[in-house]
Each structure stands twice: as structure tokens, then as C-alpha cells.
Amino acid sequence: DIPAGTVIGLVGATGCGKTTLINLLARVMDPTTGDVYIDGDNLRDLRLDDIRKAISFVPQSTFLFSQPLHENVRMGKPDLREDELERAVHISRLSNDLPQMPLGLDTMVGEKGVMLSGGQKQRVAIARAIARDPAILVLDDALSSVDTRTAAEILGDMRHVLNTRTSIIIAHRMATVKDADRIIVMEGGHIVEDGTHDELIALGGLYTQMVEREKLADDESEVSA
């Protein structure tokens, strides 16, 4: 049970079942046993078109069009109002980059976003998804090229500004989901741990091991640098 307005972190090794869980939510596939519900409605009873409208999905690899920044954001909702555009740009922290862009939101991104960094591309895609104002926002490792501090700011605004929407953050880096309301840990296709960062650290289980391995890898990278 995930209440509206909750930010969920979903972590686990490659192949643990994270993508399968999201596919069930989007009804790309149906569960062999049990059911999935959104707002009390069984997904099997909903039209696929309605399910797709309720969910915005941001993959790790972002596709952008050779259009101005604002047009790439508006593709999520062509009739987007200016205040809605500004909100999406702010929450995604794309606003942090605008002062360095002479044309601001009128800046051309180039073919497939060639003029932007990896992190900027991801933030454009996040802004586009937020612009649709979905009931459920899913980021599939879509913060992988965003620095930890900016990722924390984005999650913070998702919690406070999108307080009636549910956000699910799939991440390979534990630091990305540290500030989520709940962190779900998967292994072998099953949920093995569920709680806040502090609760899971106190548990001393799989999540703690992943956090420690990540910290060790980061420390080794700093030494090498």
C-alpha cells in the first residue's frame, strides 16, 4: 500500500525484479497471481489508455527533439500554461542551468539533445514528465547523471510540491534514494526489506551492505583521483 504523495525508492541488484514491478504497475504485463490496484481500482478493470495517462515514465536514456528547451518540456502536455512550465522546470532543477544559457528556455538543444550534458538531458525529461501532472511518476535510474545534491533537491520538491502524487525512483546508487519516504529493497524477484534509510541501516541487512559497498567504491574513486 503506497499512499498518494509518497516518494518511494526502489533498489536492488540488476535482475532483482525492479523493472518487472514497474511493468506490472503500467500493465505491460499482468501478475500470474494476485492483483495490482491504483486508487482502489483493479488495473485489470481499467482501460489501458487511462493507465498510461495516469503514469509518467522517465527512462535512463532520454530522447530529446531538435527543438527549444521549452518545446521539449511541452511535449508532455502541448497546452501547458506558463506557470505549469515554470513549476516543471523548477522541480526538475533545470532552472539551475538557465542562467548559463543565453536564450534560456528558448535554447535549441540540438539533434537528440547534443548541446546538453547527460544530467541536463535527464532533467529535461523529468520536467516533461512532471508537466503531464501524472498520478504516478516513475524515474527509472533517471537521476544517474544528476549530482547527489541536486537529486536530493528534486526529491524534496517532489515530496512537497507534488504532495498528491506518488513518485517511484528506481536507482542503482543508494545515495539517490536516501531521502525517500520509503525505500523498497528487492532481491530475486521479491521485496526483502522496506523502510526509511535510517530504519534499513538499523536493520543491518542487504540495504546496509549495498550502502557500505557504495561508500567504499566512492572512497576508492576519490583516492584514485
What DSSP string describes 34-59? S--EETTEEGGGS-HHHHHHHEEEE-
Residue 50 in domain: yes
For 173-207, b/e burial (b = at least 16 CB within 10 A) is bbbbbbbbbbbbbbbeeeeebebebeebeeeeebb
Residue 1 in domain: no
CA–centroid distance for 113 within its chain = 19
pLDDT of residue 22: 86
CATH number at residue 136: 3.40.50.300
Q: Which residues of the chain have pLDDT under 50?
A: none
pLDDT of residue 79: 92
Residue 2 in domain: no
The H or E element that residue 156 is part of is: helix 148-160
Count of C-beta atoms within a 10 Å radius of residue 73? 27
Q: What is the DSSP letter of 63?
A: P
pLDDT of residue 114: 85
**How many structural domains are present in the chain?**
1
Domain that holds residue 32: 7-224
Residue 124 in domain: yes
Cβ-proximal residues to 38 (8 Å cutoff; 6+ apart), any chain: 25, 46, 51, 54, 135, 136
Residue 199 in domain: yes
pTM of the shown model: 0.85
